[in-house]
A and B are shown apart, each in its own frame.
Chain A
Amino acid sequence: AQSVTQLDSQVPVFEEAPVELRCNYSSSVSVYLFWYVQYPNQGLQLLLKYLSGSTLVKGINGFEAEFNKSQTSFHLRKPSVHISDTAEYFCAVSRSQEKLTFGTGTRLTIIP
């Protein structure tokens, strides 16, 4: 079975500063990796996903993530954050035809 670890439960960042949200996974087989964002009082929205191919994945709202197989990581990055990026970010992993397993989430707070 696979699992996902998001070590940082909260990350405060100044507006226009860069941010990295960490995600590590464990699995004995190849997996698909995802980042979802949950804005306050809303459902989850897909930011980006890694299925195969290039290890650098670009998503919506200027976010990108890099798949690192040797470190079993899929960290999310943005070079310059905005107030509107304040949200909860969830890393998730799945294998084909299997359920999504989510991490515990990282709350990103942007400081004006």
Chain B
Amino acid sequence: DTAVSQTPKYLVTQMGNDKSIKCEQNLGHDTMYWYKQDSKKFLKIMFSYNNKELIINETVPNRFSPKSPDKAHLNLHINSLELGDSAVYFCASSPSYSAETQYFGPGTRLLVL
């Protein structure tokens, strides 16, 4: 009965490849997020979707493209992977865009070689 799940948990790939990370939440929440945690543990928001609509798009290269097929899913596709993309990517959800509490997934550890 995992609340926010991500696949894969680990991803090792070569520079230049294209990869996707999937996120699903079974909490019935309207809003979903993607965060990037770098090697120094710094967490920064990348995107936020509310009811499948893009709300927040921080200064993220356009190689990163989120897709929300429905309220329960927010996938992250990354084109032409670079070494600097190596990080842990966290998905999160909240009941609504104005809700205070976000629930985080377990993270996807991406290593670009």
Number of residues of chain A lying within 8 A (CB) of chain B: 22
Nearest chain B CB to A7 CB, angstrom units: 15
Alpha-carbon separation in the docked complex, A23 to B105 (Å): 24
Is B97 an interface residue, CB under 8 A from the partner? yes
Query: What class of interface size applies to chain B in its complex with A?
Result: 20 to 34
Alpha-carbon separation in the docked complex, A102 to B90 (Å): 13
Contact mask B70-113 → A, CB, 8 Å, 1/0?
Answer: 00000000000000000000101000011011111111000000
Nearest chain B CB to A2 CB, angstrom units: 13
Residues of B within 8 A of A42 (CB): 106-107
Binds B, one of A64-72, A73-81, A88-96: A88-96
B101 in contact with A99 (CB, 8 Å): no
Is B11 an interface residue, CB under 8 A from the partner? no
B90 in contact with A44 (CB, 8 Å): yes
A99 in contact with B48 (CB, 8 Å): yes
Nearest chain B CB to A4 CB, angstrom units: 10
Residues of A within 8 A of B41 (CB): 38, 88, 104-105, 107
Alpha-carbon separation in the docked complex, A90 to B101 (Å): 14
Is A51 an interface residue, CB under 8 A from the partner? yes
B107 in contact with A102 (CB, 8 Å): no
Is A46 an interface residue, CB under 8 A from the partner? yes
Residues of A within 8 A of B56 (CB): 99
Alpha-carbon separation in the docked complex, A96 to B48 (Å): 14
The residue in chain B whose Cβ has the minimal distance to the Cβ of A104 is B42
A105 in contact with B97 (CB, 8 Å): no
Nearest chain A CB to B58 CB, angstrom units: 8
B105 in contact with A49 (CB, 8 Å): no
Q: 6 nearest interchain CB pairs?
A: A44-B104, A43-B104, A102-B43, A43-B106, A105-B41, A97-B98
